[in-house]
Amino acid sequence: MKKSLLALAALTAFAGAASAQSSVTLFGIVDAGVARISAGGTHVTGMTNSGYNSSRLGFRGVEDLGGGLSAQFWLEGQLFNDSGDGSSTGGSLDFRRRSTVSLVGNFGEIRLGRDYTPTFWNLTVYDPFGTNGIGQAMTIGAIAGSGSAAQTATAVRSNNSISYFLPGSLGGFQGQVMYAFGENTGGIKTNNYLGFRLGYAAGPISAHVAYSKTEGATDAADYKVLNFGASFDAGVVKPTLVIHQEKNGAGVKVQSIEPGILVPVGPGVIRASYARHDIKNSDNDWNKIALGYVHNVSKRTALYATYARVSNKGTQNRTVANNGLTSPNASPGGNASGVEFGVRHSF
Give 270-290 as a DSSP string: EEEEEEEEEETT-S--EEEEE
Q: How many whole angstroms separate alpha carbon 305 and alpha carbon 207?
A: 28
Residue pair 238/261 in contact (Cβ under 8 Å)? The answer is yes
Answer whether residue 195 shows pLDDT above 80.
Answer: yes
Contacting residues for 41 by C-beta, under 8 A, at least 6 apart: 331
- Band (303; pLDDT cuts 50, 70, 90): very high
The yes/no answer on whether domain 56-285 falls in CATH 3.40.50.170 is no
What letter does residue 250 receive in the DSSP assignment?
A: T
Model confidence over 226-268: pLDDT tens digits? 999 999 999 999 999 999 999 988 888 999 999 999 999 999 9
Of 194, 183, 248, give the one whose Cα is nearest residue 221.
Answer: 248
How many other C-beta atoms can be found within 10 angstroms of the C-beta atom of residue 259? 15
The pLDDT confidence band at residue 8, using thresholds 50, 70 and 90, is very low
93 vs 206: which has the higher pLDDT: 206
Q: Give dist(CA 129, CA 141) in Å, integer.
A: 17
**Percent of the chain surpassing pLDDT 90:** 75
* Domain ranges across the chain: 56-285
Integer Cα distance of 109 and 132 in angstroms: 28
Report yes or no: 192 and 180 within 8 Å, Cβ to Cβ. Answer: yes
Average pLDDT, the chain: 90
Nearest partner of 277 among 322, 231, 244, judged by Cα: 244
Q: Which residue, 273, 272, 321, is CA-closest to 294?
A: 272
> Model confidence over 68-86: pLDDT tens digits?
999 999 999 999 988 888 7
**126 within 8 A of 119, measured Cβ to Cβ:** no
**Beta carbons within 10 angstroms of residue 235's beta carbon:** 7
Q: Provide the sign of the torsion angle of the four alpha carbons 101, 103, 108, 112, taken in this order.
A: negative
Using a 10 angstrom Cβ sphere, with 0-12 exposed, 13-18 middle and 19 or more buried, the burial of residue 44 is: middle
Q: 279 and 37 in contact (C-beta within 8 Å)?
A: no
CB distance 28 to 346 below 8 Å: yes
Which of 4-13, 17-26, 63-72 has the weakest average pLDDT? 4-13
Task: Look at residues 56, 180, 64, 174 and name the one whose alpha carbon lies nearest to residue 113.
Answer: 180
- Give the tens place of pLDDT for each residue, 85-114: 877 666 788 999 999 999 999 999 999 999
